[in-house]
Chains A and B, each alone.
Chain A
Amino acid sequence: MINQVDDQLSTTFHALADPTRRAILARLAGGEATVNELAEPFPISTQAVSKHLKVLERAGLIARGRSRQLRPSRLQGAALKEVADWVAVYREHWDESFDKLDEHLRDG
Chain B
Amino acid sequence: MADIRITRVFDAPRERVWAAWTEPARIAAWWGKRGWSTPPESVELDVRPGGVFRLNSINDEDGREMPLDTTYRDVVEPERLAFGDATVTLTDLGGGRTEMVFHTTVEMTADILRSARGGLASAFDRLSEQLEPRT
Contacts and interface: CB of A to CB of B under 8 A. Distances in A.
Nearest to A7: B113
A26 interface: no
A44 interface: no
Majority DSSP secondary structure for residues of A touching B: helix
Contacts of A94: 4, 6, 102, 104
Given A89-B123, A90-B4, A104 B30 contact: yes
Given A2-B128, A93-B123, A87 B2 contact: yes
Contacts of A82: 131
A108 to B, nearest CB: 9
Contacts, number: 92
Task: Bin the interface of chain B by size.
Answer: 35 or more
13 contacts: A1-B128, A1-B132, A2-B128, A13-B1, A13-B107, A86-B106, A87-B4, A97-B31, A98-B102, A100-B31, A100-B34, A102-B10, A105-B10
